[in-house]
Chain A
Amino acid sequence: MRSLSEIETAVKRASRAVGFSWGISEEIGKSIRQLELFGLQGIKNLNQYYKEKTTKKFENLNLISEKNVAPLEAYCPIILGISFLDQIKSVENFKKIKFKKIAYPILFLSFLSRASEISGKKIHVRFDQNEILLNLNVNIFSSFLNQDFPEFANEIEIKFVNNQDNFTEVEWNSLYKLAENTFVEESESLKQSAAGAGLTDND
């Protein structure tokens, strides 16, 4: 089995070899390492993308807006991912972000996962019939574990998920009530000697 360190180094060098700058190659190395750690097919898709890149001219998107449509070929998932990372402070204010035509969307996801960590918010991604939750770069929740990922996404919609509980107040109270059963009622004498007792707060 290849270690993650080997994966990161090989990806960085390969990315430089296909023409990306060293700085961007470093970012790709980190992102693919993360995909492989999560059990997603980073190396396989990157390889296929780099092969296809020799014959197709994918579109670069440097400034992300709420609606982004690739004019001819599909967007390059790497330049798109880097732009998303770099512009995270502005794009996180959009309610929804839509992209039309992205090549190898799994590669884009690896950057979104890191963007989720930087922004401190989960990111929900919907493309074609698929839904994916990027959870602060701790994991990627999807049904694609060890499965082939589509090589092309016609339409991708991205939403930042506001930090909120995943349960109702009733569910919380019910659980908390159970937790209270580990508490002990304090006697009056103990209350008198607890921290702060016997002093005025104006001392």
Chain B
Amino acid sequence: MKVELRDPNTIMKLSRLGSFHQSKLSFLRSFLSEFKDWDYKRDLFNLDQKGFGEAVYSFKKKDRVYSLVCFANEIKDEERSDRVIATKWDAAFTLYDGFPSSNDIKRLKDEVPKQEVGRLSFKELTLSRANKSVRVFNHVVESLSEGNQPDLDLLLKVGYLYRTTAVYGSGKFGLADRFRIKNREEINGPFRLEMMLVYLVRQFTFDQVNHVAHYKNSKKAVKLDKQICKNLGIGNSTGLGMAPFIVNHPTLLNNWILSRETALKEIREIKIVKIEDSELFIDCVKKSLKNITSWNTDSEYQQIKIKSLLKDVEKFINYIENNFDFKIEHPFNEIYLWLEKNSCEECIEYIVSIMMEPYNNIIEPLVANMSSDEDKYFNIPTNRTTQELRDIIKTRYSSILKINFDQKENHQNFWFISKNKEEPRLADRFEEHGSELEQPLAIARDVKKLYEKLLSEKNDLTIAQFLSSNSELRHVVRRAFIIEKFPYSEIQDNTISKSIIPIDMLRLKLSFFGALKFDPRSDKWLRICMFQGAPLPSELKNFDEQWVYKTIN
């Protein structure tokens, strides 16, 4: 039986993309698989009694070494802010290519804590900073120093000791350009070095909390229990900075979604499912309920989504246990069709993610296809004709062409770069100034403009001739020729409408990172947790691949 890939017109809608969940394809999970047989080491731990100073952690295999260099600083409570406008953080980090010399550490000590206003070199690969969850960190220090383990209920509510507020890579602030390292096999997956940084930061937070507790009361202090450590991750506050990324990297977006869609298609096509595979799938679905019930958020929007997810997953478990037989042919196809009929978008994508769990043979080759050599598709094929371009738009952007951009609510917002922080922002074009400096992120509107322009052109006009008098549409002409080859490269929705929920764009990207427990703090930023439940570095050589569904929390 052949199953078709799902229609981009359905999957690439923002509400669907904003319902995606982590899966075996997620970057933090593929990072752990890739680096599980590397040698992990804490090379330097030079903190004072209060936990301030430097530390270095590394992964090494043969001649290749990646080192996380950490700088923990004392800051006042009133200086602590997760916002991008902050200038001081509890800790700052960089991932260094190799093992840093004492001179390197000295240089980095001057630059890394400054973050965006510091300068890095091609030897540094990623850059980040993080703030303590002061409430949790202090509680853990107090408990450990008194010889007790911390209150698990408090840990459950937060899920981490530190929260990163940005992770930068790919040439930002002088960091190494991607092209310098792109041929390294171990990082042939998107954001792998960013994942490494966050993973090692997590270990630093455990070491630091143990260290501070020890010096607070060296006679009584105990270490944080390993199982508790394992159930703590690293938090992250994410704002709109992430949203334009998925618009600005169309072939990369396509490769992420296409990998997910191909995985689903191949799983639906499996004729006979082995008992151990169906058992693993059901086990993961059931155990994952804890992830839903421990998902805390004050956001009413997300609470409604969680409630309907929980209700639908329970309904699904009831269906699987009482009305379904895995011995039928193509059982996962049956399951998928049932989900489409009986579940909300959030639940459909949740179960789709879990379907991948038994199938390393399907997933591993797809992980290798999730990067993109974007420059290869940059040039516009200018010898083609306007008729061909029109046909591409008609086929690939059919739902976008139905949007009426003359209506105010359909072009209510605009994207711009803020002058003070050089970060993307979204604003109401009728209330705020600056729409004349709009970023090219209103793809739906501009594609429609292009289509309308093409309707009045001769069919045999070449694209070169068309562009000579329509240069303002060049950016969308390029995209149309990209989507011709990459059907999942474009969000099939209006990114400037009055009703846009920008966190849907963030969630799409964060789900591919492998984030859990999306906690929207408004429609423009959210908090998440990464690596919660993940093996500790000392356990990497042999760990349970389904750890994500088996946290104590």
A6 / chain B contacts, CB cutoff of 8 Å: 171-174
B464 touches A118 (CB 8 A): no
Within 8 A of A (CB), among B301-341: none
Measured CA separation A114–B175 after assembly (Å): 26
B475 touches A114 (CB 8 A): no
- Is B122 interfacial (CB-CB < 8 Å)? yes
Within 8 A of B (CB), among A1-28: 1-6, 13, 20-24, 26-27
Measured CA separation A141–B171 after assembly (Å): 26
A5 touches B171 (CB 8 A): yes
B414 to chain A, nearest CB (A): 13
Given the known inter-chain contacts A62-B468, A63-B468, please indicate yes or no for A3 contacting B478, CB distance below 8 A.
no
Q: Report B145-179 CB contacts with A as 1/0, cut-off 8 Å.
A: 00000000000000000000000001111111111
A83 / chain B contacts, CB cutoff of 8 Å: 468
Nearest opposing residue in chain A for B469, CB measure = A62
Measured CA separation A4–B177 after assembly (Å): 7
- Is B440 interfacial (CB-CB < 8 Å)? yes
Measured CA separation A62–B174 after assembly (Å): 37
Q: Report A99-132 CB contacts with B as 1/0, cut-off 8 Å.
A: 0000000000000001000100000000000000
Partner of A114, one of B177, B379, B417: B379
A3 touches B171 (CB 8 A): yes
B379 / chain A contacts, CB cutoff of 8 Å: 85, 114, 118
- Is B522 interfacial (CB-CB < 8 Å)? no
Measured CA separation A168–B4 after assembly (Å): 55
Nearest opposing residue in chain B for A23, CB measure = B474
B471 touches A21 (CB 8 A): yes
A5 / chain B contacts, CB cutoff of 8 Å: 170-172, 177-178
Measured CA separation A13–B171 after assembly (Å): 17
- Is A86 interfacial (CB-CB < 8 Å)? yes
Nearest opposing residue in chain B for A4, CB measure = B177
**Contact size range, B:** 20 to 34
- Is B473 interfacial (CB-CB < 8 Å)? yes
- Is A89 interfacial (CB-CB < 8 Å)? yes
Given the known inter-chain contacts A3-B175, A85-B382, A86-B464, please indicate yes or no for A24 contacting B122, CB distance below 8 A.
no
Dominant secondary structure at the A interface:
helix
A1 touches B174 (CB 8 A): yes
A50 to chain B, nearest CB (A): 17
- Is B197 interfacial (CB-CB < 8 Å)? no
A116 to chain B, nearest CB (A): 12
Measured CA separation A21–B467 after assembly (Å): 11
Measured CA separation A21–B380 after assembly (Å): 15
A86 touches B177 (CB 8 A): no
B436 to chain A, nearest CB (A): 11
Measured CA separation A197–B382 after assembly (Å): 51
Measured CA separation A114–B378 after assembly (Å): 11
Measured CA separation A23–B177 after assembly (Å): 23
B467 touches A86 (CB 8 A): yes
A4 touches B468 (CB 8 A): no
A86 touches B382 (CB 8 A): yes
B382 / chain A contacts, CB cutoff of 8 Å: 85-89
B404 / chain A contacts, CB cutoff of 8 Å: none
B475 / chain A contacts, CB cutoff of 8 Å: 21-23, 26
**Contact size range, A:** 20 to 34
- Is B459 interfacial (CB-CB < 8 Å)? no
A118 / chain B contacts, CB cutoff of 8 Å: 379
Nearest opposing residue in chain B for A118, CB measure = B379
B534 to chain A, nearest CB (A): 30
Measured CA separation A83–B380 after assembly (Å): 12
B121 touches A89 (CB 8 A): no
Measured CA separation A125–B48 after assembly (Å): 63
A112 to chain B, nearest CB (A): 14
B440 / chain A contacts, CB cutoff of 8 Å: 22
B471 / chain A contacts, CB cutoff of 8 Å: 20-21, 23-24, 82
Nearest opposing residue in chain A for B471, CB measure = A21
Measured CA separation A95–B528 after assembly (Å): 61
A115 to chain B, nearest CB (A): 10
Given the known inter-chain contacts A1-B121, A5-B172, please indicate yes or no for A30 contacting B467, CB distance below 8 A.
no
Partner of A3, one of B176, B463, B468: B176
Measured CA separation A88–B174 after assembly (Å): 35
Within 8 A of A (CB), among B167-216: 170-179
Identify the interface centre among B417, B463, B464, B472: most chain A CB within 10 Å of its CB.
Answer: B464
Q: Report B456-486 CB contacts with A as 1/0, cut-off 8 Å.
A: 0000000110011101111111100000000
Q: Report A118-158 CB contacts with B as 1/0, cut-off 8 Å.
A: 10000000000000000000000000000000000000000
B442 to chain A, nearest CB (A): 11
B209 to chain A, nearest CB (A): 35
Measured CA separation A16–B382 after assembly (Å): 22
Partner of A4, one of B173, B179, B473, B474: B179
- Is B7 interfacial (CB-CB < 8 Å)? no
Interface set of B (CB-CB < 8 Å, partner A): 121-122, 170-179, 375, 378-380, 382-383, 417, 440, 463-464, 467-469, 471-478
**Other 6 A-B pairs with CB < 8 A, given A22-B440, A89-B464:** A3-B171, A6-B173, A22-B472, A22-B475, A23-B471, A23-B474
Interface set of A (CB-CB < 8 Å, partner B): 1-6, 13, 20-24, 26-27, 30, 62-63, 82-83, 85-90, 114, 118
List 21 A-B residue pairs with CB atoms under 8 Å apart, sorted by A's residue number: A1-B174, A3-B171, A4-B177, A4-B179, A5-B170, A6-B171, A6-B173, A13-B417, A20-B471, A21-B474, A22-B474, A23-B472, A23-B476, A23-B478, A26-B478, A30-B378, A62-B469, A86-B467, A87-B382, A89-B382, A118-B379
